[in-house]
Structure 1
Amino acid sequence: MRLTPVAYLASYLLSLLGNSIAGVALPLIVLQTTGSALGTGAVAAATALPAVLAGLVMGVVIDRINRRTSSVVTDLVSAASVAALPVVDMVSGLDLGWFILFGIIGSFGDVPGMTAREALLPAIVRHGGVSAERLMGVREGLGAIALLLGPAAAGTLMVLFDGSAVLWITAATSLLAALLTLLVPHRVGDVSTGAAGTGAVAGGNGWSQLRDGWRVLFSSPFLVATTALTVVSAMVLGPLQALVLPVWFTRVEQPGMLGFVLTALAAGLLAGAASYAVAGTRGRRRTWFLAGLVGTGLGFGIIATLSSVWVVLAGAFVVGLSSGLFGSLMGVLMIERIPEHMRGRVMGTQNSIMIAAPTVGLMAAAVVTEYIGVGTAAVALAGVWLVAMAVGLFARSLRNLEPSADPTTQEAMVTTGA
């Protein structure tokens, strides 16, 4: 594999690992510093909306400037927002306001950074001498590794070092990710300058360009269907991990087993992604799609039984395995079918919806768990995915997933809503 895809993948792993560490360490540091569980929740709530808005607004910027540059800048923003916390702590001491302020600033690096990397993917495929299937399979596998290592690394660091040192280490991962992205040649990040691209990028103000991205996304049955499936998956998996399973493990008096659910999920993701990286170019894509879609439904159904700890762990592995296949295939389809000059706006909107989706699912699951029961909440969440799965199975726009002989044909079909 050439240097360009290796640098891209290494940068992706470090960025995701840093976010994974921060996701565990930052709430603990906020709690240690403020002594308030309510304050910890306030930081998360206060940064949620800016993260969604940043994903939307920055998509326009990502379509206007070199995408390697936007990826580097967003990583630097993430690094600076985390590194600023120990600096403030040394100068004047931290309080809740500082955590909220730098959390908001950091939101302009996290979600846009994810979008910038995804927008860069087609160029990495073109210039890196690697198939989209292999690249996406490896990328999804690295995501599973980060998911597995991040919480463990955060816990270890919190034991070995004080909060400031952990923040410095977390910021360093984003900084290293930015430096590794600089190994990708600058020309690889150039935004399309073809006829379609020029008009879309140069014409109109930021708001009109954002609306152009929404038009492409919501007028395409294919993009609507794939986005909906991905969003529903997050809306189901998030509440299961964050609410339903913690409540259930506590009730069966085995809370220590909760962490193994994440391990089983990550192991499944790694296996599924590796399988797709090796064999993704073989067979029909519809077969891979069905395996991921139905397998995820099977896994959620197994978890929803809540019959034993080992059954739940097995269900988590099946969900991970199927999601590894499904996520890798979706990544390849997004590379092929989102117009080059619209990737920042379309993917920025998709990622913003993805950030908000788990919160919606969590609120609904919390109501059902509180007033009906945890078992009902698990079954309801699995039922939501089964409905989405049925829609995915019969959607006309998802029947033919094979690549077009002319790469521009599929982009044109999506742009025109075909």
Structure 2
Amino acid sequence: MNGVREMTTTTTEPAATPVPLRRNRRFQTLWAGSASAMLGTCLADTAYPLLLLAMTGSPTVAGAFGAVQFGASVLFGLHGGTVADRYDRRRILIAADTVRLLTALSVVLALAADWLTVPHALFAAAVIGATMAYGGPSRMLALRAVVPPEQLRQALSQDELRVNGAALAGPPLAGFLLGLGSAVPFLATVLTSGLALGASVAVRFDSGPGADKPADGPAGEQGKEKGAALAGLRYLLAHRTMRGAVLIAAGLNLTGSAILLAVMVLLREHGTSEAGTGLVLTGEAVGGLLGALLVPHLHRLLSPGRLMLAVGWAAAVAFAACAAASGPVLVFAALAFGCLGVPSLRVLLDVLVFQRVPEEMRGRAMAGTMTLLMAGVPLGTMAAGLLLDRLSAPAVLTLLAAALAAALLPLTLGRTLRSTSWTE
């Protein structure tokens, strides 16, 4: 999200024509660094569990990597937003990328010396999670701080390509590199971390309210008051349009994480191989990539509230379609369809934050939202596991579709969301 500033009228000079986004060196450099960081995360999310499984033969230990990484992100998430609002965001980003690079390098050296242990790998998981918590808000703000307001949606659409492209390429690339040698995917994470760090060092950007002020000054005092870490999230929830976007996104994250486990069980019951299941699950990333191209069109066609409701109902239809699907191709198509509108919803929330959240609170607003959305992942997965112990996969998918529809129905019938506009 780029820093949106009000235009002043104290001069009669015509505003300069903004440089086309493709020629905006600062944005493209930061975007390339962010894409490298995201690809490294997706590589690590697959490579570490596979390596731990090979080292120990224990699925529990392999799964512990994701649990530790996720736990660290949630644990430090709100504090990361507070730090982004109090200190120089560029320095925070450089520090986070440096720590991540050194951690990745330590794993490569340990593998080369045959010294890698489970505690070392889990420590790396905690570091990755923590650097996401602290570097994530600053990286998001940096990307959006180097483009003019009129190019905001275009920039955010390109950023969605980064997210979904990494999600699509990361897992198969990790498996391929691991086949070349146990250290190869981790060398790749060193490279991606180095590229991300290089971009952070190379580009200067508006570093936020704490950039040029002492820690004990006005900016340094932000976040010290009681409950300050939640101030950004409270601000979002107090505004009807932003509250709707946050709650619908959280609901989609919760049910979306549940549907993945149910789909895995469904495909196994259909006799789909593990490799085939992996390909089917890429339907989400494919839908996201296509959806990123639709962002400008959907934002022109629909008001914020109608767009939120359309994305939510599309997901509910996709859940029901998965339950009725007779094979992996139809499940893939349903997942892709359900994710077509998700990039537009994320961009919508991004735009609203920069239009309506004060500069000194944006880091906390982002961090609070990210933490809320991430919290739905383990809850959804756990709920799906409990349901699948008692019900068939199609029944669970139908139940999830019905639950999402029940939550959306009162919002759809009411006028609060449907009457919102981009300019309110």
| TM tier, smaller | 0.7 to 0.9
> For the structure 1 residues 5 and 204, does the alpha-carbon distance in structure 2 shift closer, same or farther, using more than 3 Å as the test?
closer
Q: Tell me which of 65, 85, 97 is aligned to 2:107.
A: 85
Q: Distance in 2 between matches of 1:112 and 1:312?
A: 36
Q: Distance in 2 between matches of 1:154 and 1:262?
A: 16
Aligned match of 1:167? 186
Tell me how many residue pairs correspond in the alignment.
398
Q: Tell me which of 186, 206, 213 is aligned to 2:232.
A: 213
Counterpart contact for 2:74–2:374, Cα < 8 Å:
yes
Q: Distance in 2 between matches of 1:42 and 1:119?
A: 31
Q: Tell me which of 105, 108, 121 is aligned to 1:99.
A: 121
Q: Distance in 2 between matches of 1:104 and 1:43?
A: 8
Gaps of 5+ in 1: 405-418
Report the Cα offset of residue 102 of structure 1: 2.4
**In the alignment, structure 1 residue 349 sits paired with structure 2 residue 368:** yes
Q: Tell me which of 203, 207, 223 is aligned to 1:189.
A: 207
> For the structure 1 residues 142 and 77, does the alpha-carbon distance in structure 2 shift closer, same or farther, using more than 3 Å as the test?
same
Report the Cα offset of residue 7 of structure 1: 1.6
Counterpart contact for 1:17–1:150, Cα < 8 Å:
yes
**In the alignment, structure 1 residue 326 sits paired with structure 2 residue 345:** yes
Alignment of 1:56-71 (within 5 A): 56-71=78-93
Report the Cα offset of residue 207 of structure 1: 5.3
Aligned match of 2:18? none
The letter for the 1-side match of 2:369 is Q
Counterpart contact for 1:125–1:131, Cα < 8 Å:
yes
Q: Tell me which of 309, 322, 326 is aligned to 1:307.
A: 326
| Deviation digits for residues 226-267 of structure 1 (CA, Å, limit 9, x no counterpart) | 2221111111222222x1111111111112432232333222
Report the Cα offset of residue 104 of structure 1: 1.5
**In the alignment, structure 1 residue 375 sits paired with structure 2 residue 385:** no
Q: Distance in 1 between matches of 2:419 and 2:203?
A: 36
Aligned match of 1:38? 60
Q: Tell me which of 118, 124, 144 is aligned to 2:146.
A: 124
Report the Cα offset of residue 293 of structure 1: 3.2
**In the alignment, structure 1 residue 114 sits paired with structure 2 residue 136:** yes
Q: Distance in 1 between matches of 2:49 and 2:150?
A: 39
**In the alignment, structure 1 residue 235 sits paired with structure 2 residue 257:** no
The letter for the 2-side match of 1:168 is L
**In the alignment, structure 1 residue 148 sits paired with structure 2 residue 168:** yes
Aligned match of 1:366? 385
Q: How big is the alpha-carbon RMSD for the aligned residues of Structure 1 and Structure 2? A: 2.8
Aligned match of 1:414? none
Aligned match of 1:48? 70
**In the alignment, structure 1 residue 250 sits paired with structure 2 residue 272:** no
| Deviation digits for residues 126-182 of structure 1 (CA, Å, limit 9, x no counterpart) | 3xx75111111111122221111111211111112x222321211221221121233
Q: Aligned with 1:85: secondary structure?
A: helix
> For the structure 1 residues 385 and 171, does the alpha-carbon distance in structure 2 shift closer, same or farther, using more than 3 Å as the test?
farther
Q: Distance in 2 between matches of 1:217 and 1:205?
A: 20
Q: Aligned with 1:171: secondary structure?
A: helix
Counterpart contact for 1:51–1:108, Cα < 8 Å:
yes
The letter for the 1-side match of 2:115 is G
Q: Aligned with 1:403: secondary structure?
A: coil
Aligned match of 1:137? 157
Aligned match of 2:41? 19
The letter for the 2-side match of 1:401 is S
> For the structure 1 residues 13 and 391, does the alpha-carbon distance in structure 2 shift closer, same or farther, using more than 3 Å as the test?
farther
The letter for the 1-side match of 2:169 is L
Q: Distance in 1 between matches of 2:337 and 2:188?
A: 33
Q: Distance in 2 between matches of 1:357 and 1:55?
A: 14
> For the structure 1 residues 111 and 58, does the alpha-carbon distance in structure 2 shift closer, same or farther, using more than 3 Å as the test?
closer
Report the Cα offset of residue 320 of structure 1: 2.0
**In the alignment, structure 1 residue 272 sits paired with structure 2 residue 291:** yes
Counterpart contact for 2:246–2:349, Cα < 8 Å:
no
Report the Cα offset of residue 328 of structure 1: 2.6
Counterpart contact for 1:272–1:320, Cα < 8 Å:
yes
Aligned match of 2:13? none
Counterpart contact for 1:133–1:332, Cα < 8 Å:
yes
Q: Aligned with 2:86: secondary structure?
A: coil
Percent identical residues: 23
Report the Cα offset of residue 216 of structure 1: 2.4
The letter for the 2-side match of 1:292 is V
Q: Distance in 2 between matches of 1:231 and 1:111?
A: 18
> For the structure 1 residues 249 and 391, does the alpha-carbon distance in structure 2 shift closer, same or farther, using more than 3 Å as the test?
same
For structure 1, which segment, 36-45 or 352-361, has the greater mean C-alpha deviation from structure 2 after superposition?
36-45
For structure 1, which segment, 97-106 or 394-403, has the greater mean C-alpha deviation from structure 2 after superposition?
394-403
**In the alignment, structure 1 residue 223 sits paired with structure 2 residue 245:** no
Report the Cα offset of residue 391 of structure 1: 4.8
Compute the TM-score of the two structures, normalised by the length of structure 1. Answer: 0.86
Aligned match of 1:10? 32
Counterpart contact for 1:293–1:326, Cα < 8 Å:
no
The letter for the 1-side match of 2:56 is T
For structure 1, which segment, 9-18 or 92-101, has the greater mean C-alpha deviation from structure 2 after superposition?
92-101
Q: Distance in 2 between matches of 1:399 and 1:58?
A: 34
Q: Tell me which of 392, 401, 413 is aligned to 2:421.
A: 401
Counterpart contact for 1:138–1:277, Cα < 8 Å:
no
> For the structure 1 residues 352 and 285, does the alpha-carbon distance in structure 2 shift closer, same or farther, using more than 3 Å as the test?
closer
For structure 1, which segment, 353-362 or 261-270, has the greater mean C-alpha deviation from structure 2 after superposition?
261-270
Q: Distance in 2 between matches of 1:310 and 1:53?
A: 38
Gaps of 5+ in 2: 1-20
Report the Cα offset of residue 83 of structure 1: 2.2
Aligned match of 2:14? none
Counterpart contact for 2:86–2:223, Cα < 8 Å:
no
